[in-house]
Amino acid sequence: MADQDVQTPVGGEPPALSVLRWDELPEGPVLVLLDQTRLPAEEVELVCTDVPALVRAIRTLAVRGAPLLGIVGGYGVALAAARGYDVAEAAGLLEGARPTAVNLGYGVRRVATAYWAAAEKGAGVTEAATVALAEAQALHREDARASVRMAEYGTALLEELLPGRGYQLLTHCNTGALVSGGEGTAFAVALRVHRQGRLRRLWVDETRPLLQGARLTAYEAARSGMAYSLLTDSAAGSLFAAGEVDAVLIGADRIAADGSVANKVGSYPLAVLAKYHHVPFIVVAPTTTVDMETAEGTLIIVEQRSGQEVTEVTSPGGVSEGAGGGKVVAPLGAPVYNPAFDITPSELITAIVTEEGVISPVTGVGLAELCARSSQV
Ligand code: MRU
């Protein structure tokens, strides 16, 4: 495809996705989630009235993606406080729902700390619950602002690395409005490039086994009107070899102090491919995803998920059956290796883009300086 083929966005923007909202019903407050297991077939809301329901939503990936897990964790604590449940117990349940995305624990602890600080200063239960909700809302707003900044820094970086051209970008998993208080992380960069009329194509990895790329990123890309194509994860290699990828943009679930990045399984092979083909490999994540307490990537706990996600080719929720239908595809009892994430070492990463700026090359020192800067704001 020639550079003149760069697509100019036409028509209006679609309405923003309502991914999560706090609602006050006559029977009490609730957290309303867009059930991501049902996308793209149906936009169905999931109403969570208590923490166990939220934990189920997190485990089944009805709500998912690192930044959104942080926001949900925060609101989960606020929900427990508002409904008079034990906040410490709720915080423990929420934080333990999934192990890899550091944002979940961050959101939970931040709101629980605000609640306890208010209680310690003599606030009653209702007042402390109001403080908790305000903290969750602040986290939600901050994430939306971070998303805007990451998109700005990310597009500036692409212009610096690949000046004066349109891009074919490859992404993995789902990193858009469905995982964020705003328009996302890596996807927000692609969206901004699209709005600038410089996105030639977004290559969307289907992202086996739960198909976050096929179901969710393709859904967001189609809504935005950008040029995109879906590919199987294993087709990425031949795409690089054909010279059809200008840069890889992915998100992160946890960034260790040495700059290694945990992200959806399949990210590491893309980084190896990108290195071999001299293509920039860019990680886009808010500073809330950086975990300076985990010294190195090998120490990150990688969630292992059920083997059924691999032995059965089905959609996780109510997605309609295609011509092939959902089926068991492996022999009964087949042993399975199903890590949800993998770790990409810093030497394979061209840059990490955050709301506080860009680190390139990616080093532990650069990351520490960035985090020091972000804690001063
Ligand atoms: O298992 P998921 O769907 O929660 O995994 C999500 C990812 O791996 C995303 O790439 C990551 O959270 C970054 S989202 C900004």
Say what the ipTM of the complex is: 0.98
**Which residues, at least 6 apart from 365, have a Cβ–Cβ distance to it below 8 Å?**
none
Q: Which atom of ligand 1 is nearest to the CA of 340?
A: 1
**Residue 25 in 3-state DSSP?**
strand
122-155 pLDDT tens trace? 999 999 999 999 999 999 999 999 999 999 999 9
Residue type, 18: S
Asked if 203 and 228 touch (Cβ cutoff 8 Å), the reply is: yes
Q: How confident is the model at residue 279 (pLDDT cuts 50, 70, 90)?
A: very high
Answer whether residue 44 shows pLDDT above 80.
yes
Residue type, 347: E
Cα of 263 vs centre of ligand 1, distance in Å, is 6
Q: What is the pTM of this model?
A: 0.94
228-269 pLDDT tens trace? 999 999 999 999 999 999 999 999 999 999 999 999 999 999
Answer whether residue 4 shows pLDDT above 80.
no
pLDDT, the chain, mean: 93
The CB of 264 under 6 Å from ligand 1? The reply is yes
Site to substitute for ligand 1 among 185, 253, 338, 355, most atoms within 8 A of C-beta: 253
Cα of 173 vs centre of ligand 1, distance in Å, is 6
The CB of 168 under 6 Å from ligand 1? The reply is no
Binding residues for substrate: 64-66, 98, 212, 263-264
The CB of 147 under 6 Å from ligand 1? The reply is no
Would you name the residues annotated as active-site residues?
253
Which pLDDT does position 7 carry in this prediction?
Answer: 44
The CB of 179 under 6 Å from ligand 1? The reply is yes
* Of 226 and 17, more confident: 226
Asked if 353 and 73 touch (Cβ cutoff 8 Å), the reply is: no
Cα of 226 vs centre of ligand 1, distance in Å, is 21
The residues that bridge with 250 in the sheet, in sequence order, are 283
Tell me the mean pLDDT in the region 62-77.
98
Q: How confident is the model at residue 320 (pLDDT cuts 50, 70, 90)?
A: low
Answer whether residue 11 shows pLDDT above 90.
no
Helix extents (H) in the chain:
51-59, 66-82, 87-95, 102-120, 125-161, 186-195, 218-224, 236-241, 267-276, 308-311, 364-376
Backbone torsion region of residue 255, taken as left when φ is above 0, otherwise alpha when ψ lies between -120 and 50, otherwise beta: beta
Cα of 178 vs centre of ligand 1, distance in Å, is 10
Answer whether residue 12 shows pLDDT above 80.
no
Answer whether residue 212 shows pLDDT above 80.
yes
